[in-house]
């Protein structure tokens, strides 16, 4: 077990003798008896000078050190949405070591809020994530309001979070029962994330807390309290500390090179934030979804490891981001949330998987073990083994997904092959074709063209050596299509290969891996390799699949990967304006939405949707 892993222990909902929600482990209430909303308004909003301080700004960011039942968030949301002078966007980062399960959140909030706030709380409950450690990004008000939840101990996650914070709500349980929420180390991390003139407010007035804030860099004072509380603490960051204020500017145009899943994920995330995006790719001569033309279906599912390694954490974050981002799409572009079974090939593998579940203590509404009878019932057919059941497993129609992602009115898809990027001397980058003709220009360029990225970087004289990126290699692979009436499953089956539910009478099975191929094409040999994998998953002989697929019954494509099999996402050091989103390997669907939001959040100074240590692992370095 990794020393960094902390099993998430959900909160237990309880009430004291007055009917106020409390945490029995800490022996403290989530809010005073005289009202959660009143505390939020009079301590946290008023103590931070809100709503006045966000008025007229392009964005405003609040960080809260204890999410609890979400009353502060709901009160903040209501104050923001009813203010005609509100900031264009509001971002909230909130830490919670012991999150509630969705049903407990709903039970605690159901009859305790006035109707306007209850309507917002209902939206919060509907979007509430499973109790998985790490960061979770939720979006409301068509993306103008974001909530980034950090599930885990604040001592660890405060070091992992990235944000540009304007106001702090210090709302942990009392220092006497939960001292970890009031340490000078934590206050130091808050200063690291603070903008200049950032403020803080808390009901707590103990001398240690005030001295801790002061030593970290805040000017601390007390103001009159209420509801039996004589005084509360407010603070302002000392002059000279914090990031410079971010001026409200028009979202800048962005150029994306590459029209596959990587480019589409980035383009959509930027367009949703108001950027005009030009996407360049020669494949657009055949349509927006042409990079996956004829690819009827693909699987989108997470993985786990016993030590919750980097790949497992990234996979979990990527699948959750895709679920949040794409479930609102229409028609065939919307992934089918059918669930996925990772089948155990033998008894040893089954034992290892069950031991991993016991160590990780992940919520059963996200992953659980099914024995062979349970797995067979879930799949709708007799299987040969049990396995892990991921309820978030999704089946995607890639061509339809790409077509819709790239159809946003702020996205312009342009047919063209970028051969070189040149700076123009004024901070813009020029995309040039093979004849040296300018195709497009922008201050920010995202290279999402898989293996072509290496050549484009080589043409930028000031680009640093990037051994990881230079190690990128291509693998050809194919999937095969079968008649859905012969044998199929109603869920994704995965293991050594995969088998998907039928789409319009056919289903896809995969896949092959050819690292040294000269071309990526459907072959009879590939059909034989895929067929053996699919038949094993379906627990039938190869002949049970029906006729052998023909050369037209499949799809072939390329994968690009680097040696650690992690994606490469982030800015290029020492070359302002160049970003990479490549090396997705066989998990393009897992990384596409996440990478888009990482880059878009960075450009727009939002709280980052991924931990800093994970961002370091996928950076171009």
How far, in Å, CA of 31 to CA of 174, rounded?
11
Sign of CA pseudo-dihedral 441, 445, 447, 452: positive
Is the link from the previous residue into 51 a cis peptide, with omega within 30 of 0?
yes
Residue 22 dihedral angles phi and psi, to the nearest 5°: -145, 165
**What per-residue confidence (pLDDT) applies to 248?**
56
* Predicted TM-score (pTM) of this structure: 0.95
Q: Is the pLDDT at 1 greater than 70, yes or no?
A: no
- Token pair of 281, please? 């790719």
**What per-residue confidence (pLDDT) applies to 224?**
87
Annotated domain spans of the chain: 14-237, 254-291+400-471+565-618, 473-561
pLDDT interval class at 16 (50, 70, 90): confident
Three-state SS sequence of 4-38: CCCCCCCCCCEECCCCCEEECCCCEECCCCCCHHH
Q: What is the per-residue pLDDT across 403-441, written as a single tens digit (0 to 9) for each?
A: 999 999 999 999 999 999 999 989 999 999 999 999 999
**What per-residue confidence (pLDDT) applies to 2?**
46
Hey, is 212 helix, strand or coil?
Answer: helix
Nearest Cα to Cα of residue 463 among 573, 577, 541 = 573
Average pLDDT over residues 213-232: 89
Q: What is the per-residue pLDDT across 232-264, written as a single tens digit (0 to 9) for each?
A: 999 999 999 999 876 655 789 999 999 999 999
Q: Count the helix, strand and coil residues of the chain and give each as a percent rounded to the nearest 5.
A: 35, 25, 40
Q: Is the pLDDT at 372 greater than 80, yes or no?
A: yes
Average pLDDT over residues 461-490: 92
Q: Is 207 exposed, middle or buried (0-12, 13-18, 19+ CB in 10 A)?
A: exposed
Sign of CA pseudo-dihedral 43, 49, 52, 58: negative
Nearest Cα to Cα of residue 125 among 93, 103, 151 = 103
**What per-residue confidence (pLDDT) applies to 34?**
60
Q: What is the per-residue pLDDT across 517-542, written as a single tens digit (0 to 9) for each?
A: 899 999 999 999 999 999 999 999 99
**What per-residue confidence (pLDDT) applies to 577?**
96
Q: What is the per-residue pLDDT across 282-304, written as a single tens digit (0 to 9) for each?
A: 999 999 999 999 999 999 999 99
How far, in Å, CA of 455 to CA of 577, rounded?
18
- With respect to CATH, is domain 254-291+400-471+565-618 assigned 3.50.50.60? yes
- Token pair of 478, please? 């194919």
How far, in Å, CA of 29 to CA of 27, rounded?
7
Architecture of domain 473-561: 2-Layer Sandwich (3.30)
Q: What is the per-residue pLDDT across 377-391, written as a single tens digit (0 to 9) for each?
A: 999 999 999 999 999
Q: What is the mean pLDDT of the chain?
A: 93
**What per-residue confidence (pLDDT) applies to 150?**
98
**What per-residue confidence (pLDDT) applies to 247?**
62
**What per-residue confidence (pLDDT) applies to 3?**
53
**What per-residue confidence (pLDDT) applies to 110?**
76
Average pLDDT over residues 197-206: 94
Which of these CATH numbers, 3.40.50.150, 3.30.470.10, 3.40.50.1700, 3.90.1150.10, describes 14-237? 3.40.50.150
**What per-residue confidence (pLDDT) applies to 486?**
74
**Residues of the chain with pLDDT > 70: what percent?**
97
Average pLDDT over residues 448-463: 93
pLDDT interval class at 21 (50, 70, 90): confident
Q: What is the per-residue pLDDT across 146-186, written as a single tens digit (0 to 9) for each?
A: 999 999 999 999 999 999 999 999 987 788 888 889 999 99
* 24 against 48, higher pLDDT: 48
How far, in Å, CA of 493 to CA of 414, rounded?
37
């Amino acid at each position: 077990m990794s020393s960094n892993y902390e099993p998430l222990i959900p909160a237990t909902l309880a009430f004291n003798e007055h009917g106020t929600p409390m945490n029995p482990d800490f022996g403290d209430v989530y809010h005073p008896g005289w009202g959660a909303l009143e505390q939020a308004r009079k301590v946290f909003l008023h103590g931070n000078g809100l709503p006045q301080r966000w008025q007229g700004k392009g964005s405003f960011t609040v960080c809260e050190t204890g999410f609890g039942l979400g009353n502060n968030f709901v009160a903040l949301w209501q104050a923001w949405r009813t203010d005609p002078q509100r900031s264009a966007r509001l971002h909230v980062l909130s830490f919670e070591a012991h999150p509630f399960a969705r049903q407990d959140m709903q039970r605690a909030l159901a009859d305790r809020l006035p109707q306007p706030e209850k309507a917002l709380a209902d939206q919060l409950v509907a979007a509430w994530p499973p109790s998985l450690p790490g960061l979770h990004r939720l979006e409301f008000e068509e993306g103008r309001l974001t909530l980034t939840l950090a599930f885990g101990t604040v001592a660890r996650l405060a070091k992992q979070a990235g944000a540009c914070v304007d106001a702090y709500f210090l709302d942990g349980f009392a220092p006497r029962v939960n001292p970890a929420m009031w340490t000078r180390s934590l206050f130091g991390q808050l200063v690291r994330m603070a903008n200049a003139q950032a403020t803080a407010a808390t009901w707590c007035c103990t001398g240690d807390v005030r001295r801790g804030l002061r030593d970290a860099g805040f000017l601390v004072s007390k103001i009159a309290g209420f509801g039996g509380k004589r005084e509360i603490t407010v603070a302002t960051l000392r002059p000279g500390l914090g990031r410079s204020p971010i001026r409200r500017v028009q979202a800048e145009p962005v150029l994306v090179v590459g029209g596959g899943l990587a480019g589409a994920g980035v383009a959509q995330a930027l367009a949703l934030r108001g950027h005009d995006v030009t996407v360049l790719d020669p494949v657009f001569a055949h349509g927006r979804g042409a990079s996956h033309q004829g690819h009827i279906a693909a699987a989108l599912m997470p993985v786990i490891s016993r030590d919750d390694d980097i790949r497992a954490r990234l996979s979990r974050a990527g699948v959750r981001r895709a679920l949040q981002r794409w479930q609102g799409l229409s028609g065939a572009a919307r992934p089918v949330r059918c669930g996925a079974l990772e089948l155990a090939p033998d008894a040893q593998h089954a034992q290892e998987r069950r031991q991993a579940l016991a160590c990780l203590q992940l919520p059963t509404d996200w992953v659980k073990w099914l024995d062979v009878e349970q797995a067979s019932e879930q799949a709708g057919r007799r299987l040969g083994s049990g396995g892990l059941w991921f309820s978030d497993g999704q089946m995607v129609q890639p061509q339809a997904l790409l077509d819709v992602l790239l159809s946003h009115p702020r996205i312009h898809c342009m047919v063209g092959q970028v051969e070189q990027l040149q700076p123009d001397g004024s901070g813009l980058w020029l995309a040039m074709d093979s004849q040296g003709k300018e195709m497009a220009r922008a201050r920010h360029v995202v290279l999402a063209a898989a293996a072509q990225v290496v050549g484009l970087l080589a043409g930028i004289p000031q680009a640093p050596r990037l051994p990881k990126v230079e190690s990128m290699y291509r693998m050809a692979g194919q999937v095969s299509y079968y008649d859905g009436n012969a044998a199929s499953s109603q869920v994704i089956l995965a293991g050594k290969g995969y088998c998907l539910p039928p789409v319009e009478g056919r289903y896809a099975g995969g896949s092959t891996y050819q690292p040294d191929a000269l071309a990526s094409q459907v072959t009879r040999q590939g059909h034989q390799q895929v067929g053996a994998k699919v038949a094993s998953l379906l627990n039938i002989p190869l002949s049970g699949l029906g006729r052998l697929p023909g050369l037209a019954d499949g799809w072939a494509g390329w994968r690009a990967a680097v040696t650690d099999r992690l994606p490469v996402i982030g800015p290029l050091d020492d070359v302002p304006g160049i970003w990479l989103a490549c090396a997705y390997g066989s998990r393009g669907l897992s990384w596409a939405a996440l990478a888009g939001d990482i880059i878009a959040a960075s450009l727009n100074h939002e709280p980052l949707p991924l931990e800093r240590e994970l961002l370091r692992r996928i950076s171009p370095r």
